[in-house]
Amino acid sequence: MGSCSLPYDYYAYQNTDLFSEETFELLSEIMVEYRVEKGTYLFAEHEQSNKLYFVREGQIKITKTSEDGKELILHLFQKGDMIGEFGFSEEATHSFNGIATSESLVEVIYKKDLNAIISSNGKIALEFIHWMDLMNRITSSKFRDLLLFGKNGALCSTLIRLSNSYGRMGKDGITICSKLTNTELAELIGTSRETVNRMLSSLKKNKVIDYDGDGRLKILNLQFLKTECKCEDCPIEVCRI
């Protein structure tokens, strides 16, 4: 119980799950394979947003750079996820960066090819409206938690999202099978590593979290985390990292 036997990049939910099999077959026909080395930008802020990306292998982090140059990680997208800000105007640009955290294989969908499918199939158009709405809800909920409930609430929210994305339920709690450094946790909530160290130590002291023998985080008291961030019990497809 609670072991991490599934692959590290396993997600309980991919953001493409809302697409029908028929739609995904049509999308697959217009996808172009593209390999991305670790640390390479898939796209950058202010670049033209004329593509979508489907992750076949690896992991892509979505980041926002502050005015003082600090990086905030907004999302970690994995195998089975689709990424992109698909603007319908020619002037549309990316609001975020997409960076490979590992060697990754993505499939590129070009705007002109997707437009051709959408214009001839109302069902696909509706599914893409739902997909864009989902992506907006994920981003909005993350900003809400970061802005409204302080650093402690943001950390608690992030731990809940990690449990939904990577958690394995055991007899004594939920093991988070993706091992993130405290620096990465700090980038997920927009604070310093030292602040995260202090908050995690406090949570461990209060028996809210612990660590397994491999150094993976374990959540012992999920309800405490939910109370701290005033959890609204969003559906799992929204409450994810």
Strand order in the sheet with 32-36: 32-36, 104-110, 51-57, 82-83
pLDDT at 105: 97
CB within 8 A of 132, min separation 6: which ones? 86
pLDDT in tens, 78-106: 999 999 886 666 778 888 999 999 999 99
Residue 16 burial class via C-beta count within 10 angstroms: exposed 0-12, middle 13-18, buried 19 and up: middle
pLDDT in tens, 220-239: 999 999 999 988 888 888 88
pLDDT at 108: 97
Q: Say whether 228 sits in a helix, a strand or coil.
A: helix
Single-letter amino acid code for the residue at 199: M
Q: 33 near 105, Cβ under 8 Å?
A: yes
pTM, whole model, 2 decimals?
Answer: 0.85
Helix boundaries (H) for the chain = 21-30, 111-120, 122-148, 150-166, 182-189, 193-205, 222-228
Task: Tell me the average pLDDT across 107-114.
Answer: 94
Task: Tell me the average pLDDT across 72-82.
Answer: 91
d(CA 97, CA 119): 29
Average pLDDT of the chain, as a whole number: 89
Q: Which of 33-47, 132-146, 151-165 is predicted with the least confidence, judged by mean pLDDT?
A: 132-146
pLDDT at 172: 86
> Which residue ranges form the domains of the chain, and what is each CATH number?
21-146 (2.60.120.10), 150-228 (1.10.10.10)
The half-sphere exposure of 62 on its side-chain side, counting CA atoms within 13 A, is 20
Helix boundaries (H) for 149-228 = 150-166, 182-189, 193-205, 222-228
pLDDT at 179: 82
